[in-house]
Structure 1
């Protein structure tokens, strides 16, 4: 569904991966790595014959008379209608509206002379080279798009509501790498970092000796896959209106240019 530049997982694949298919690559996977992994899971376990591709559901209803559910829709490639009945329906479509992304209206949108692009419907051949780009928001999508396009754009500005900060990420798990060098079984390694075994979760071989360091410093010196956060320190602003109003100490606008060091978003 998503095809924007730099797309990758926003959580480590030890968490997202399956225990019966241990994840063996870098913690934060690219889109191609994720597709390859899922393809292997489907093929290795004979799941393909149970999947209906290119099916778009339009409605789901329940019949108390027959004690069954009914799903109806159309095939997205041919437009042919279809209907299925089931005894159990498990909704796994996530929280995205797949037909179109949410784009709020704001004053002046109609008179804007540039191009407005939603990441969910990113054009395949969008040319942003040499352009001045404004990215609204600072979530997982922004954290992957901005480093991917910054070197090609004249200037990239990030507009955000809640202050966040990013640190350079090292997409690796040193302890997992050392366990592989010791030829530890991959399923054990995967289960350990997914929190599925009795072993305490460690991010780095030096976690014990670094226990007195600030948690975020430990994280950065380890795999740096969980180091995104929002600013919680606030002060009262004399310009704020209303009782108890406050303003963040951090700047709400960040900019990226060609000279910017690529940052990594982590979950």
Structure 2
């Protein structure tokens, strides 16, 4: 099976650089590395091109004009551009454990999508990483005490403790999620009517559930660390998008109206 790593970004080249450096250290490389760029300016393009000697043709930059928050649209464009069977989706401010891709592949199953976890880094460690001043690997004690469980690596335990959540979409994050490309196309990808922050990944997951595709949540594998930034949480948009999510749940919809089909 072939794999595409889709990395979303918006005007954060230093963060994306940290992410791509961690991709370069993977024990198993993805077949495609697709940067899903929601309208970043020239410094991001230049930084991406600086990795061309490392990644070669597997590095793809999918860009769209900056028209506000259009995360669903750029994700759809990136998935449409992918040629691989399996999509692993992260954000461009994540630092991946070197076994991240390998462990996602190990936990891929037909009929399931995978939800992973993440640990937050504190501001000082994050700034040192952005400035290329951090020396030494990130480990479980790099994270705040409340999230250290999410950063403990013990892959030998994963096959015993991987959780099958069925239809649950609680605590699901698009920053560590994997699914089959064909399944995403069946659900028509991400709903582009979501033009404000929040709940777009969960609404997508509900449509996967409605298609009979179930969730597996990895524990002790697929470790990633989130570079600190101020919260983007918007309670008003979260409430509005929550209404859309609940409407999909109530209707049993398996496809959205404005989705990936327009790019295929």
Q: TM-score interval w.r.t. the shorter chain?
A: under 0.3
Scaled by the length of structure 2, the TM-score of the pair is 0.25
Could you say which structure has the greater relative contact order, defined with CA pairs below 8 angstroms and 6 or more residues apart?
2
Structure label with greater radius of gyration: 1
| Greater per-residue helix proportion | 2
